A = this chain, B = another copy of it.
């Protein structure tokens, strides 16, 4: 693909940044955003950084009707000496292209997309909060914009990146959550879109989430849609169980999202020689392990919380208390190591970190 220049249209006045203690998740956005268009004739074209602003979209645009959309989620972190860095962004764009393929969306140039993020984050560097556990959330997404009501892949798209400064997930340190096993609703099924990061998967999850939220549960644990027996994911995280010294996580089966954190956890455990296996695991087996006193830990893993220990797992009318509802050693060590690498506080043996070049605004062409 030819070398492309990102056109730059800077905003005239910058917004006020939120105070650290006011930081939430995904409510405040930075001054600029990245956009690139797609048409069948031109391919992906006109990459530009422009002031953060509403999109003007025809009411017949496909995304409003047929949900043809994909997204990603990653973060920029500030190191102790004030540098901005990303964590395995190539994984996210590789996954975005796999999501694109499932959703019949034309692929993007993964390297170029990372360059776009670098330029945007460099420009918005002041927006990266520096308090413990805070970061700049990065949301790349693609929407179908052809004004046409036929059920067919769109011929027009927009690829957009927006940034949002976010607070620490755990205000008072890493803390176990309560999870309810979902028996009624299904998130995804083999042959469906579960391994793609597309809107419909999240839309369909809201109802289950809503039904347990009032009861003190943070998330639901999803079972497979076919047999309703096997563990898939927990909320928007992949899930791990430590049983009798061995860590088990559900194997990727086509209906589970392949998490970047999941992959990193597996690599770290291998590196530490902690037994880790990817395989089918039924809720019955988890229950039995608890009965036998060998369910040592359970935790979720995802970009938002990094690692989320599960202190209680409620299945039908039974509540399993795991590790006395305390954070387990493996979860704690993973959390510390992953956040250590992400924030540049510890060694990065796998070269996971990608620095945001201060000078990567080179090549930007100011249009105002």
Contacts and interface: CB of A to CB of B under 8 A. Distances in A.
Interface of A: 25-27, 29, 33, 52-60, 63-69, 71, 102-104, 137, 139, 141, 143, 147-153, 160, 162, 164, 184-186, 188-193, 198-207, 209-210, 225-226, 228, 235-236
Contact of A63 (B64, B102, B149, B186): B64
A199 B199 contact: yes
B198 A191 contact: no
Nearest to A202: B66
B193 A151 contact: no
A68 B207 CA distance: 11
A191 B186 contact: yes
B67 A198 contact: yes
Contacts of A104: 206-207, 210
Contacts of A55: 56-59
Nearest to A63: B64
A86 to B, nearest CB: 18
A268 to B, nearest CB: 26
B66 A203 contact: yes
A309 to B, nearest CB: 20
Given A59-B55, A141-B64, A152-B209, A198 B192 contact: no
A92 to B, nearest CB: 15
A12 to B, nearest CB: 19
Contacts of A152: 206, 209
B150 A26 contact: yes
A172 B295 CA distance: 67
B153 A206 contact: yes
Nearest to A199: B67
B139 A149 contact: yes
A205 B141 CA distance: 20
A123 B33 CA distance: 40
A236 B210 CA distance: 29
A29 B147 CA distance: 10
Contacts of A164: 60, 149
A153 to B, nearest CB: 5
Contacts of A226: 189, 225-226
Given A55-B59, A104-B207, A67 B149 contact: no
A151 B191 contact: no
A156 B149 CA distance: 24
Contacts of A184: 191
A68 B203 contact: yes
A251 to B, nearest CB: 19
A67 B67 contact: yes
B59 A52 contact: yes
B57 A65 contact: no
B54 A57 contact: yes
Contacts of A190: 186, 225
A149 B26 contact: yes
